[in-house]
Chain A
Amino acid sequence: MADALHFTYSPGRLGRREGAPGLVLQELTQFALASVIARKGQAAQAVGAAQRAFGASPPTTPTIAAGSDIAFVWSGPGHWLALGPQSTESFEARLGTVFGTHASVFDQSGSRVLLELRGPRVRDVLAKGVSIDLHPRAFRTGDVAVTTASHLAVHLWQVADEPVYRLLVVRTWFDSLWRWLAASAAEYGCEVMAPTPYTL
């Protein structure tokens, strides 16, 4: 859970109490995360290897590609974040075996906090700190943005048309992100759900 740092992530209602919440927020836990960076001139081979092993092609544009149990979040040219379920097996080792000499793999499982955001005012909340255009004409399900939220580096992607977003933020910055999110959602009311294990 994200509350090892300063504040306490606790389920309940934040901000306006009346009516349906404008934002519903839930921490997703128990995921494995790794940076995957293609070796020089090996991006296509790395993509092929992932496709064969996981049924997902690490994308070459800012999108997310999901396979059987691993999703690849675009993070830069030839650079992805692999996201999968937590297991006793080393995620880095598992990916390392697949990518071999095509890519370098770096475990990041402890580095980030993952949030899921939904609700009728979710775009309005995000607009208070995310400068990119999240209008459905500009950003759709499956799209990824590596950007900043309230000046903090995040990965943001859309997982459903409703819309539902996921936001991956650096753990040691999470407290500041949380304060911004809570303040930004306060006028619409925010329901914080109990953390739940990550699924694709």
Chain B
Amino acid sequence: MSSRIAQGGAINRQQVCRFTFDGAGYSGYAGDSLASALLANDIRLVGRSFKYHRPRGILSAGSEEPNALVELRSGARREPNTRATDIELYDGLEATSQNRWPSLKFDVQAINGLFSPLFVAGFYYKTFMWPASFWEKVYEPLIRRAAGLGRAALEADPDHYEKSWAHCDVLVIGAGPAGLAAALTAARTGARVILADENFVLGGRCLAERRTIDGQPAADWAAQAIAELRSMPDVRLFPRTTVFGVFDDGVYGAVERVNDHLPVPPEFQPRQRVWRFIAKQAVLASGAIERPLVFGNNDLPGVMLAGAVRTYLNRYAVLPGRRAVVFTDNDDGWTTAADLVAAGGQVAAIVDSREPVIVSELARRFPDIQAIAGEVNGARGGRHVESVEVTSRTGTSHRIDCNLVAMSGGWSPTLHLTSHKGNRPRWDEERSIFVPDMLPTGMRVAGAANGDMTLGEALVTGFRQGLTAAASCGFSGSMPALPRVTEESARRVPLWRVRQALGKCFVDFQNDVTTDDVELAEHEGYRSIEHLKRYTTLGMATDQGKTSGVTGIALLAQRRSIPVAATGTTTFRPPYTPVAMGALAGHHRGMDFRPTRYAPSHRWASELGASFTESGPWLRAQWFPRAGETDWFEPTCREVKAVRSTVGLCDVSTLGKIDVQGPDALKFIERLYANNFATLAVGRTRYGIMLREDGFMFDDGTAARLAENRYLITTTTAHAVQVYQHMHLCHQTLWPELDVQFVSVTDQWAQFAVAGPRSRALLQRVLDPRCDLSNEAFPFMACGEVALRNGEPARLFRISFSGELAYEIAVPGHRGDALIRTLHDAGQDLGVVPYGLEALNVLRVEKGHVVGSELNGQTTAHDLGFGRMLSTQKDFIGSVLGRRANLIDPARPRLVGIKTVDRNAKLAGGMHFIPQHAQRSIEHDQGHVTSVCYSPILEQWIGLGLLTNGPDRHGEKVMVVDPLRGAETLVEICSPVFIDPEGARLRG
């Protein structure tokens, strides 16, 4: 650990952390980042660049890092593109360099650099254009192997992620000096405060600088501030938490890396947690990001941001290079030189691009450092910087040996979050920085994020903004005494690129975008900053141009000879730094992807070995296989036959049920349904159809008149929620004058179909013997309250979806399991058979009942044979537009039944109707097949379809064609009611 400084730093030298990088073992200390530990171990070469595979090292000390991206961990936990600069070192950490083959030091694709003319701006668009057929097989695999940023794990992520909400009065984003100051003043008023910082230690640049606050080291001041905040009950501190997005109305997205600092999260703990902070006010104290300078080979390992050098020196006690050249266009660079000297490093020279008068004034304050007014033309070295070429203002050139170049192009406010809602920052010409302009409602900015770069300004603005934010939430407090701080200066004369460069000058390191690329793009007409971004890829990928954006804009402005303000910025969008998809999904993955709804008979059905299928949110039994039945076909046919010959049981609780009461219940129902309900007597049920206001079919179901002013209506399973909302919409906005009350009782009633010739016999065994089920007492479409043998109340409906004598019996939801078992047990000698969704479907197709495939949003009542049901005596939803000529045109595709002419032929849903001798083309398309099934009763495939002029074509033979799978067969058009068209069975 040769580059570790003997003393100091916020690291715990008692706690050694062993780690591997590209398989070799190293060690660092708790408190290190991976980057600082690598530097301490003299590892400078960390990765290869995206396009040219150039050697890259560590540029920064934070989340802005474009170069030092590594794969973290291995196997299923392998995570690509993690930034070595903000990975917290832990014992057992495994990291692997990316983008190199076969090894980091000998990368065969570094030859890409020699062919760099191929890889200039727009190279994707130019190189891989032709022939188009090459794209999938040649170009894309080639690009993916050559470029790309790391490899994702191939196995499922073994860890879990969570989402959570947190509320506060004041959210403070960033826990540097400004953020801590804001949190302190806000919290002292009694406001609820959340303080979040992306780093694993709170304190920001207080940890990285040799500055004092009221005479004590800034880090100590920060520690005291954090201790005070921690002691307050209504303050929540979130280290390791990146606020990545600002959303509407005070909602902030954040990701907390709960256990990323451990090899494996402790049992039961999430790896990461996505927070949604809901804050009345927010103080953005996200600091600033230093800009690289643009000179030749400025991407060589060993060329670092000057502020990052200070972080490594002061926070991590690492000397990133023994002999440094500092290259700066501002005063802050001089602080780095001073810190290097203080840490025992050697500063070969400080090269300041500004006027000699400024340089010599500063040089007087740093007598030990050789100061050159001039510029660095280029860095030299193979896999690491070895020297720099410097030209002074007087024209003399030097080569200066060094193994560290600390560069400072000034600091850009980290203002991304101010513009997530669409506001653009404003260019401050005087300071040559973008500063926040219009802010999201409730947001304030403090410190360097607002362009107030010095420690003193950060503290003052932080205190003030924290206080005003709290005041906006109704809390009052006072400004603390302003602390005395080390003096500093943020003077700068921007140097966007050096005048004379040796070698490639990189603007965007992550995307290998050079000054030449920017010029070429401009030359080729990509003059808008948004076009420049897409054409050159400047500002794309994981870092989104954090270090390169402003320089790119300035260079474009320079090239176009327009002011920077006229160039504008690209749009900042969430997330600020990448967020794992797993974290965004949280708990909702796998079988928790969305909630599952279980029918009341679920447990009973699973005990019987039922196969289940998803039906909307519900999990419903598909069929109930018996021993020896291996597919869906056998049990389905058996179940259908049982219903038609003995008796079957089916859970139909999933249908939507809405209980409607009140003096105007009938009026309400009449306006909702297209058919007449005025004549429905108490104790009777009627089939009803609802239209949408545009005249198309909305839903169908039944309405049972339970009492004078009480109706129970059912909806399809699929439309239950929409119908319920629709009813509220109608009541609350169209007819608020109606005295009607209704609620969903879908869950209150477990409801089972008891269907088949022996259904009456089965029910008589289950119901109170006094209950008369005769045709006279309880005819088809009757309904009423009944009692079970044990006295429990139930509701009985004599309705049939199967066309058989059938009933539906309902009991309160928590009694459903008991009832289905009672029914099943009681009917054993009657041959009772549970049936599932497949059999239900066959039964209804045989009977010509429509479901979702026919109620597809494009069919009208006339299409489905309900035209005569439409009342002409009343206004109802859809009554006016449903009468439109085009909607009742007989030539529309209308409901028919179909059966195959060849009794062995099969049918598939979605087949198209084509006249028998016509060409199989779209011009001859006459509709499509909506539902098909094998009818075990008719012993052939049958179906329902929507056919032009369908009802007038019974008996005609038409082709049904499936061009996708190359199938076709001849069918005979018939009535959609295949079984018992007179309805004798269901009235039996």
B739 at the interface (CB under 8 A from A): yes
Report the minimum CB–CB distance from A174 to chain B (whole Å): 8
Determine if B817 and A4 form an interchain contact, defined as CB atoms under 8 angstroms apart. yes
- A108 touching B160 by the CB < 8 A rule? no
How distant is B788 from chain A, measured CB to nearest CB, in Å?
14
- Over the window 14-48 of chain A, the binary record of Cβ atoms lying under 8 Å from chain B Cβ atoms (1 yes, 0 no) is 01100000000000000000010111110000000
A133 to B278, CA, bound (A): 9
Which B residues lie within 8 Å of A170 (CB)? 747
Given the known inter-chain contacts A5-B598, A150-B595, please indicate yes or no for A15 contacting B268, CB distance below 8 A.
yes
B592 interface neighbour in A90, A171, A176, A187, Cβ under 8 Å: A176
Q: Once the chains bind, are A111 and B598 in contact (CB under 8 Å)?
A: no
A35 and B743 contact, Cβ closer than 8 Å, known pairs A110-B812, A130-B165, A183-B160: yes
Q: Which of A138, A179, A187 contacts B269 (CB 8 A)?
A: A187
Can you name the residue of chain B whose Cβ is closest to the Cβ of A3? B603
- Please give, as numbers and ranges, the residues of chain A lying within 8 Å of B816 by CB-CB distance: 4, 110
Residues A106 and B743 in contact, CB atoms below 8 Å apart: yes
> In whole angstroms, what is the CA distance A6 to B603 when docked?
6
Bound state CA distance, A39 and B661, in angstroms?
9
Is B760 engaged at the interface, CB distance under 8 Å to the other chain? no
A3 and B603 alpha carbons, distance in the complex (Å): 9
Q: A78: nearest residue on chain B (CB-CB)? A: B741
Greatest chain A CB density within 10 A among B618, B814, B815, B816 is at B814
In the assembled complex, which residues on chain B have CB atoms less than 8 Å from the CB atom of A138? 167
How many angstroms from the CA of A173 to the CA of B602 in the assembled complex? Answer: 12
B793 touches A39 (CB 8 A): no
| Residue B163 interfacial (CB < 8 Å) | yes
Contact residue range for chain A? 35 or more
**Contacts A5-B598, A112-B747 known; A39 to B662 CB distance under 8 Å?**
yes
The answer to whether B413 has its CB under 8 Å from any CB of chain A is no
**Contact in complex: B167, A133 (CB < 8 Å):** yes
A residues 119-136 touching B (CB-CB < 8 Å): 124, 127-131, 133, 135
Q: Decide: B165 and A131 in contact? CB cutoff 8 A.
A: yes
Q: In the docked arrangement, what's the CA distance between A176 and B602, Å?
A: 14
Q: How far is the CB of B27 from chain A (nearest CB, A)?
A: 31
Q: How far is the CA of A38 from the CA of B659 in the complex (A)?
A: 15
Evaluate contact between A107 and B276: CB separation under 8 angstroms.
no
Residue B80 CB within 8 A of the other chain: no
Task: Indicate if the CB atoms of A171 and B160 lie closer than 8 Å.
Answer: no
CB-CB under 8 A from A109, the residues of chain B are 748, 812, 814
Do A110 and B814 touch across chains, with their CB atoms under 8 A apart? Answer: yes
Is B595 a contact of A90 with CB atoms below 8 Å? Answer: no
Residues from chain B with Cβ under 8 Å of A6 in the complex: 596, 598, 602-603, 606, 619
Tell me if A97 counts as interface (CB < 8 A to partner B): no
Residue A151 lies at the interface, judged by CB distance under 8 Å to chain B = yes
The CA-CA distance from A81 to B478 in the complex, in Å, is 47
Kindly state whether residue A172 has any CB partner on chain B within 8 Å.
yes
Residue B162 CB within 8 A of the other chain = yes
A104 an interface residue at 8 Å Cβ cutoff? yes
Q: Is B745 among interface residues, defined by CB-CB distance under 8 A?
A: yes
Residues of A with C-beta under 8 A to B162 = 128, 183-184
Cα–Cα distance between A162 and B920 once the two chains are bound (Å): 73
Is the C-beta of A186 less than 8 angstroms from some C-beta in chain B? yes
A180 interface contact, C-beta 8 A: yes
Most buried by A among B663, B749, B812: B812
A37 CA to B728 CA, complexed, in Å: 13
User: Which residues of A sit under 8 angstroms from B812, Cβ to Cβ?
Assistant: 107, 109-111
Interface string of B568-606 (1 = CB under 8 A from A): 000000000000000000010000101111111011001
Q: Which of B167, B587, B745 touches A150 (beta carbons < 8 Å)? A: B587
- CB of B436 closer than 8 Å to a CB of A: no
A94 within 8 A of partner (CB): no
Q: Given A130-B165, A184-B587, is A104 in contact with B595 using a C-beta cutoff of 8 Å?
A: no
Are the C-beta atoms of B600 and A4 separated by less than 8 Å? yes
Q: Which residues of A contact B738 (CB under 8 A)?
A: 40
Bound CA span A39–B653, Å: 28
The verdict on A16 contacting B268 (CB below 8 Å), with A110-B812, A179-B592 known, is: yes
**Are B745 and A187 interface neighbours, CB within 8 A?**
no
Beta-carbon nearest neighbor of B740 in chain A:
A40
For A1, give the chain B residue with the smallest CB separation: B814
B748 touches A108 (CB 8 A): yes
Q: Which residue of A lies closest to B817 (CB)?
A: A4
A4 and B599 contact, Cβ closer than 8 Å, known pairs A110-B811, A179-B592? no
> Do B270 and A180 touch (CB < 8 A)?
no
Residues of B near A179 (CB, < 8 A) are 592
B750 at the interface (CB under 8 A from A): yes
B268 touches A186 (CB 8 A): yes
Contact of B743 among A37, A128, A180 (CB under 8 A): A37
Question: Would A180 and B814 count as touching, CB distance under 8 A?
Answer: no
Smallest distance from the beta carbon of B832 to chain A beta carbons, Å? 20
Of listed B165, B270, B661, residue having the most chain A CB within 10 A? B165
Nearest CB of A to B159, in Å: 12
Q: Are B165 and A111 touching (Cβ within 8 A)?
A: no
- Closest residue of B by beta carbon distance from A42: B739
Chain A minimum-CB-distance residue to B269: A187
Give every chain A residue within 8 A of B166 (Cβ-Cβ). 127
CB-CB under 8 A for A176 and B745, given A39-B662, A104-B662: no
- Would A187 and B268 count as touching, CB distance under 8 A? yes
The distance from the CB of A156 to the nearest CB of chain B, in whole angstroms, is: 13
Does A152 touch B at the CB level, under 8 Å?
Answer: yes
- Nearest Cβ on chain B to A167's Cβ, whole angstroms: 15
Nearest A residue to B748 via CB reads A111
Of the listed residues A5, A137, A177, the one surrounded by the most CB atoms of chain B closer than 10 A to its CB is A5
CB atoms of A107 and B739 under 8 A apart:
no
A110/B268 contact (C-beta < 8 A), A35-B743, A133-B278, A183-B587 known: no
- Residues of the A chain whose Cβ atoms lie less than 8 Å from the Cβ of B793: 90
State the Cβ distance, A78 to closest chain B Cβ, in Å. 9
Q: In the assembled complex, which residues on chain A have CB atoms less than 8 Å from the CB atom of B740?
A: 40
Q: For B600, give its contact among A5, A15, A112, A180 (CB under 8 Å).
A: A5
Q: How far is the CA of A129 from the CA of B592 in the complex (A)?
A: 13
A103–B741 alpha-carbon span in the complex (Å): 8
A131 CB contacts on chain B under 8 angstroms = 165, 276, 278
Q: How far is the CA of A63 from the CA of B750 in the complex (A)?
A: 30
Chain A's nearest CB lies how many Å from the CB of B251? 10
Tell me if A111 and B739 are in contact (CB < 8 A): no
Contact of B748 among A16, A107, A152 (CB under 8 A): A107
Structural contact, B603 and A4, CB atoms closer than 8 A: yes
Residues of B within 8 Å of A127, CB to CB, are 164-166
Partner of B587 from A15, A90, A128, A135 at Cβ < 8 Å: A128
Which partner residue on chain B sits nearest A128 by CB separation?
A: B164
Residues of B within 8 A of A (CB): 160, 162-167, 192, 234, 267-270, 276, 278, 587, 592, 594-600, 602-603, 606, 618-619, 653, 659, 661-663, 737-743, 745-750, 793, 811-817
| Beyond A111-B748, A127-B165, A128-B165, 15 extra complex contacts between A and B, CB < 8 Å | A16-B268, A39-B741, A40-B662, A110-B811, A111-B745, A131-B165, A131-B276, A152-B595, A172-B597, A172-B813, A173-B597, A177-B595, A183-B592, A184-B587, A187-B268
Q: Could you give 6 example pairs across A and B, Cβ below 8 Å? A: A41-B739, A110-B750, A111-B748, A133-B167, A172-B746, A175-B596
- A-to-B contact residues, CB < 8 Å: 3-6, 15-16, 35, 37-41, 90, 103-104, 106-112, 124, 127-131, 133, 135, 137-138, 150-152, 170-173, 175-177, 179-180, 183-184, 186-187, 189
4 residue pairs, one from A and one from B, having the closest CB atoms: A110-B812, A110-B813, A176-B595, A111-B747
